[in-house]
Structure 1
Amino acid sequence: MTLYGIQYLRAFAALAVVVFHAAERSGYAFAIGAAGVDVFFVISGFIMWVIVARRPVSPGRFLADRIRRIVPVYWLATAVMVAGALAGLFPNLLLTAEHVAASLFFVPWRSPSSGEIWPVLVQGWTLNYEMFFYAVFAACLLLPARLRLPVMATVFLTLVGVGFAVESDNPLFLTYTRPIILEFVAGMLIGRLSLAGLVPNRPMSIALIGTALAGFAAIGILRLPFDEWTCGPLAIALVYGTVALEKHGRIARFRLPALLGDASYSIYLWHTFAISVAAKAGAMLGLPPPLVFVTSIAVGTLVGLCGYVLIERPAGKAGRAPKITTYSQAGR
């Protein structure tokens, strides 16, 4: 089953990240595009809840499905980064065996290049959160269905509380006590409410979507500071409103947005390579910044689509997970 509203949100969030990175490389500012990660985390919690509710699965099978969808393409993109660094194409990228291994196995680790808790492929930091969420979610599948959401909420709230109470520079501690993990729980709650038919009516659904988009726009236009405390509630409103609107049968299928939603993981993984090339080429050719900006967006999106058609989709045919599976693909 395909939820077109969710597909469109995936496309929206992925393109926001593309614009964010294109703006960075061409001298513009679109920091709010990085908030796509909040949307993706809420979507991920929602989709995982719906998948398991509709098709009960063992913890092992659940993890196998997630690994099959995430790992091969991510490892390939990481390998490209490593090969590029060894070839001298990324002079600012410092490699260590420990950092590469941590990147491949989704272990938060400080980058020797920047000191930030980033993998070799920087935008892969969100996948560290995803894999952690999947691991905890899989463990909760051993519980009765009625206890899964309360237990997940308790575990994640406890982690966030410990993060506020304890000082530590440990990368794992800093990563998995960050309040952003609560967005997964919010998505699960939306899934539970949706399956129970507890969604707002159509006018309220539209109001939630409009309020969320207006909030994101205000942050972007006014260049306000933002984090998960501001963007998390907006993302929750956007996803809940969209899910409710689709529940009322008000979201039709449109081919291009649906395709972009399908390709959002590949767009996320590959767009930065294309944007870097486009930005460097534009500078060498002396192109005006607006043209570099637009070209970078187009090339980044197109390369991501090619990655989906040529790599991700064929790789997924060997053992296909449910169509509505989603992953986090944004970078902040």
Structure 2
Amino acid sequence: MNKLYGIQYLRAVAALGVVVFHAAERSGGHFTIGAAGVDVFFVVSGFIMWVLAEVRQPSPTAFLRERVERIVPLYWIATAVMVAGGLAGLFPKMKLTAFHVFGSFAFIPHVSPSDGGTWPVLVQGWTLNYEMFFYILFAAVLFLPAARRFPALALLFGTLVAIGLVVQPDGAVLRTYTSPLMAEFLIGAAIGKLWLANRMPPAALGVPLIVASAAGFALVGFGYLPFGPAALAPLSGMLLVGFLCLEKAGRVRHMRVPTYLGDASYSIYLWHTIAISVAVKASGMTGLSALPAFVLSIGAGTVAGLVCHELLEKPIAAWFKARRHRARVRYAG
């Protein structure tokens, strides 16, 4: 699949939105709508997975292997850093238990002993529990003939969300996997299906859809619409469709910096909170006021992600790519 620059820009905006959200939260401010970057990520993830699977036609095993190689190593490194910091006493509020650490590495939703929230040691890793579950279900659907995949996916996700709405389970695992957030992956997959069928709205609707989506996010941010999947899922889908309308017409230009930020969005997402914590603590020690501390935190979180993208994410990806190439060479020989 050719690189869709609009998708990269959305990934960059979503990641930076989460960075600003956490920077504001840690420095005493508020930017709640930044957390909606997660909803954008989920919709975009559903789109990318559907398009990649339909274009490349990987086996279920190959699909899962690629996802594991892309997601797991970097997340495990970030989680290990958090665990080490907790054991060293760098995070006074962190409480570690054996299952908390195990569940964090194993992508098992569980209640944190630190504050009772349903998240792992690396707090933002809660979204990866959803991602990994989506990948497993998606891989299972790949066993079916192509024509039956989307109906099966819709049935699976629709059933899970319906169970969550009706039963409202208490356990961390069931509560996570029956959350309405699961529908966001399905929305992205549906948009991917329409994209491949060349059934996008005309390019003239691209900008209006983006503007309408941005206005909707603003209404959520100011409290005029509820903050949750009921509002954020359709708004994220609308935003994606708006960019794709322009993409289809060749109206999305390549911009180097936003594209690079999109490429680095996963690293930014994983590593920004550690850097923000350091920046906030340094700001307190040096007597910086709230606004400079907020700006410093945004910069620190973003730069930390970019550094880890270059020093960790890219070398890990290159290693796996070289490993697959050597395997193909041996097999061919």
1:19 maps to which residue?
A: 20
Aligned: 1:139 with 2:140? yes
Aligned: 1:85 with 2:86? yes
Aligned-residue offset at 1:215 = 1.0
Following superposition of structure 1 onto structure 2, how do residues 1-332 of structure 1 map, counting pairs within 5 Å? 1-222=2-223, 225-320=226-321
Q: Distance in 2 between matches of 1:271 and 1:167?
A: 32
Whichever residue aligns with residue 273 of structure 2, its letter is T
1:324 maps to which residue?
A: none
Query: What root-mean-square deviation, in Å, do the aligned CA atoms of Structure 1 and Structure 2 show?
Result: 1.2
Q: Is the 8 A contact 1:194 1:244 kept in 2?
A: no
2:331 maps to which residue?
A: none
Q: Distance in 1 between matches of 2:189 and 2:312?
A: 30
Q: Distance in 1 between matches of 2:231 and 2:225?
A: 10
3-state SS of 1:252 partner: coil
Per-residue CA distance 1:281-325 (angstroms, 9 max, x = gap):
11111111110011110111001000000000110012249xxxx
Q: Distance in 2 between matches of 1:24 and 1:316?
A: 32
3-state SS of 2:120 partner: coil
Q: Distance in 2 between matches of 1:82 and 1:319?
A: 25
Per-residue CA distance 1:86-140 (angstroms, 9 max, x = gap):
0000111111111111110101011111111101101000000000000000000
Whichever residue aligns with residue 88 of structure 1, its letter is G
Q: Distance in 2 between matches of 1:276 and 1:103?
A: 20
Aligned-residue offset at 1:219 = 2.2
Aligned-residue offset at 1:160 = 1.1
**Identity, % of aligned positions:** 57
CA 223–281 in structure 1, closer or farther in 2 if over 3 Å, else same: farther
Q: Distance in 2 between matches of 1:124 and 1:281?
A: 25
Per-residue CA distance 1:232-277 (angstroms, 9 max, x = gap):
1100000111112101110011110000000000000100011001
Whichever residue aligns with residue 111 of structure 1, its letter is S
Whichever residue aligns with residue 185 of structure 2, its letter is F
Aligned-residue offset at 1:223 = 7.0
1:326 maps to which residue?
A: none
Q: Distance in 2 between matches of 1:185 and 1:168?
A: 21
Per-residue CA distance 1:67-101 (angstroms, 9 max, x = gap):
00111110000000000000000111111111111
Aligned-residue offset at 1:224 = 5.3
Q: Is the 8 A contact 2:23 2:298 kept in 1?
A: yes
Per-residue CA distance 1:133-176 (angstroms, 9 max, x = gap):
00000000000111111111111111111112224311111001
CA 219–165 in structure 1, closer or farther in 2 if over 3 Å, else same: closer
Per-residue CA distance 1:40-61 (angstroms, 9 max, x = gap):
0000010011111111110001
1:325 maps to which residue?
A: none
Q: Which moved more, 1:68-77 or 1:165-174?
A: 165-174
Whichever residue aligns with residue 10 of structure 1, its letter is R
Q: Distance in 2 between matches of 1:75 and 1:101?
A: 11
Whichever residue aligns with residue 162 of structure 1, its letter is I
Report runs of 4+ in structure 1 exceeding 6 Å deviation: none
Q: Distance in 2 between matches of 1:167 and 1:266?
A: 33
Q: Which runs of 5+ in 1 are unaligned?
A: 322-332
3-state SS of 1:179 partner: coil
Q: Is the 8 A contact 2:203 2:248 kept in 1?
A: no
Q: TM-score, normalised by structure 1?
A: 0.95
Q: Distance in 1 between matches of 2:265 and 2:169?
A: 34
Whichever residue aligns with residue 61 of structure 1, its letter is A
Larger RCO, structures 1/2 (Cα 8 Å, 6+ apart) = 1
Whichever residue aligns with residue 312 of structure 1, its letter is E
Q: Is the 8 A contact 2:112 2:118 kept in 1?
A: yes
Q: TM-score, normalised by structure 2?
A: 0.94
Whichever residue aligns with residue 17 of structure 1, its letter is V
